[in-house]
């Protein structure tokens, strides 16, 4: 169902294809997984090699307007990435977005997570993180499945004007109120609502989610012409989300999650997960 005024979907199955799609968080997962640090070429390449059809990459900018793949605003020594020139970011081991786009196989979808910097507030619009990213994703979306997500709704509005063909997703914080998230997404010109698993009744003690909340959320998100992405569940809630028809699930510890879902291994709750699922579309 698509309602008047809702974002345009691709004719071949929406943003994520036939899904449900699993998306490798920062490659193989946040932190270090299988010896590969997050947001590095090795992490992204290894995730793709395991069969993940999508990966998520955080994107920030340097002081000289180069886009790099990095989650945190500052390095461990407290130096802000936005205060450094690209050459210094290179020296510190940060991956340029251009390098990721060059080396990531074109059949792997990319969820670009736009991270606005505090000084974007005083920069000219074309030199903000969103302003720099718009032309890049407009070109890249012509050759691979791609979506830009962000916690910054203003940045998404700017991107919609700059790159109207690129799918956009609004991310909400941990345990963000569910009703406000679903209604807010329907009021915005975005294609995807990105919920943290905590908004769906996730119980860390048992590793379960509220199945009723998941079903109800999907009915309203799909009814408004949007798609649902849920980020960072463990194996057991990931299984529930996939079985319920969630369009995309962003996962950490990709090797372990894939193994648990495929083998019906116990999730955190200790209960076995039923049946195999595909790692991608």
What tokens does 138 get? 């407009």
**Percent of the chain at pLDDT exceeding 70:** 89
Closest CA to 237 of 228, 250, 226, 227: 250
pLDDT digits (tens, 9 = 90+) for 160-191: 999 999 999 999 998 899 999 999 999 999 99
> Which pLDDT value is given to residue 264?
61
Indicate if 80 and 95 belong to the same structural domain: yes
For tokens 């999650």, the residue is: 257
> Which pLDDT value is given to residue 195?
97
Indicate if 230 and 205 belong to the same structural domain: yes
Q: Is residue 11 part of a domain?
A: no
Distance between CA atoms of 13 and 22, rounded to whole angstroms? Answer: 15
Q: What residues are paired with 230 via a beta bridge?
A: 195, 249
248 phi and psi angles, rounded to 5 deg:
-155, 145
pLDDT digits (tens, 9 = 90+) for 183-213: 999 999 999 999 999 999 888 888 889 999 9
Q: What is the mean pLDDT of residues 38-56?
A: 97
8 Å CB contact between 39 and 57: yes
What's the domain count of the chain?
2
Distance between CA atoms of 235 and 90, rounded to whole angstroms? Answer: 35
Indicate if 126 and 59 belong to the same structural domain: yes
Please measure the distance between the N-terminal and C-terminal CA atoms of the chain and give it in whole angstroms: 21
> Which pLDDT value is given to residue 14?
87
> Which pLDDT value is given to residue 261?
86
What CATH number does residue 270 fall under?
Answer: 3.40.50
Indicate if 164 and 245 belong to the same structural domain: no
**Cα 58 to chain center, whole Å?**
8
Given 171, 206, 226, which residue is the final one in a domain?
A: 171
Q: What is the mean pLDDT of the chain?
A: 89
Which of 4-8, 52-56, 123-127 has the weakest average pLDDT? 4-8
Given 139, 171, 203, which residue is the final one in a domain?
A: 171
Residue 123 has pLDDT above 80, yes or no: yes
More confident residue, 260 or 147: 147
Indicate if 131 and 78 belong to the same structural domain: yes
What CATH number does residue 68 fall under?
Answer: 3.20.20.190
What tokens does 150 get? 């962000």
Can you give the three-state secondary structure of 28-84, one letter per residue?
Answer: CCCCEECCEECCCHHHHHHHHHCCCCEEEEEEEECCCCCEEECCCCECCCCCEHHHC
Indicate if 60 and 117 belong to the same structural domain: yes
Given 140, 171, 202, which residue is the final one in a domain?
A: 171
Domain that includes residue 193, residue range: 177-274
Q: Is residue 15 part of a domain?
A: no
Indicate if 136 and 192 belong to the same structural domain: no
Indicate if 96 and 181 belong to the same structural domain: no
């Amino acid at each position: 169902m698509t309602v008047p005024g809702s974002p345009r979907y691709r004719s071949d199955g929406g943003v994520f294809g036939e899904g449900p799609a699993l998306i490798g968080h920062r490659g193989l997962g946040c932190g270090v997984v299988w010896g590969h640090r997050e947001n590095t070429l090795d992490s992204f390449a290894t995730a793709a090699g395991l069969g993940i059809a999508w990966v998520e990459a955080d994107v920030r900018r340097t002081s000289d307007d180069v886009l790099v793949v990095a989650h945190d605003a500052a390095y461990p020594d407290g130096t802000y990435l936005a205060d450094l020139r690209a050459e210094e970011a290179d020296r510190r081991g940060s991956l340029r977005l251009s390098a990721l786009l060059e080396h990531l196989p074109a059949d792997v979808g990319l969820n670009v997570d736009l991270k606005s910097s505090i000084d974007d507030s005083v920069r000219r619009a074309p030199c903000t993180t969103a302003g720099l990213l718009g032309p890049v994703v407009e070109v890249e979306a012509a050759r691979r499945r791609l979506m830009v997500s962000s916690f910054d709704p203003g940045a998404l509005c700017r991107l919609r004007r700059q790159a109207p063909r690129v799918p956009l997703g609004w991310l909400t914080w941990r345990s963000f109120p569910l009703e406000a998230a679903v209604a807010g997404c329907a009021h915005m010109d975005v294609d995807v609502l990105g919920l943290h698993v905590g908004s769906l009744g996730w119980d860390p003690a048992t590793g379960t989610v509220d199945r009723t909340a998941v079903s109800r959320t999907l009915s309203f998100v799909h009814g408004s012409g949007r798609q649902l992405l849920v980020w960072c569940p463990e194996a057991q809630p990931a299984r529930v989300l996939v079985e319920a028809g969630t369009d995309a699930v962003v996962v950490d510890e990709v090797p372990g999650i894939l193994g648990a879902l495929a083998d019906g291994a116990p999730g955190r709750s200790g209960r076995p997960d039923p049946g195999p699922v595909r790692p991608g579309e």
